[in-house]
Amino acid sequence: MNKLLKNAIEEPNGVNKGKKFELFFENFMAQQQGFVFLHRHCRSEVGEIDYFYRSEYRDHPLFEKYTYMFVECKNWSEPISSEKMDHFIRLMQAKTILSCCGIYITTSYFSPETLTTMRDARIKEGYMIIPIENRDLPEMIEKGFKAFIQEKCDKILAKA
């Protein structure tokens, strides 16, 4: 996994950079039990979300409330802006019939304004978005997706 991630991050070509990061994520998730892949590149009038998964777990408040997850992958060097996060939230709103959470995974990092946007979406609209940035990726690989996002969720809720 670490080699796939490294190859994605070091890819010089912009189009290939995104594809390699998605390849890393697909391979990583294929090794994770309890998450059922449902769809790739989910399109709506608003745009596209990279992945759609269903969790088979019900042993944590995150999975009790949110059975479905939308995942966005960005292999960028610049920070994720609040405008990009607003767009992801609009995409989730356009797609959400069932209770879904969002996972936003990036090889860069989230600006303070973006973290505020995610917090506001959770408080005002009930959207749980779990940010995973470059410094988190080795830990996510080591712990596995389930344990990692549960811990991220717990930290988000502890700050609330």
Q: What is the pTM of this model?
A: 0.94
Over residues 29-50, the pLDDT tens digits come to 999 999 999 999 877 777 889 9
Per-residue confidence (pLDDT) for residue 44, from 0 to 100:
73
DSSP 74: E
d(CA 83, CA 88): 9
Q: Can you list the alpha helix ranges (DSSP code H) found in the chain? A: 2-10, 14-30, 61-65, 82-95, 112-125, 137-143, 145-159
Question: Quick one: pLDDT band at residue 92, thresholds 50, 70, 90?
Answer: confident
Options 3.40.1350.10, 3.40.980.10, 2.102.10.10, 3.40.250.10; which CATH number does 34-159 get?
3.40.1350.10
- Chain-centroid distance, C-alpha 35: 14
Per-residue confidence (pLDDT) for residue 3, from 0 to 100:
95
Mean pLDDT calculated for residue range 6-28: 94
The domain segmentation of the chain, as residue ranges, is: 34-159
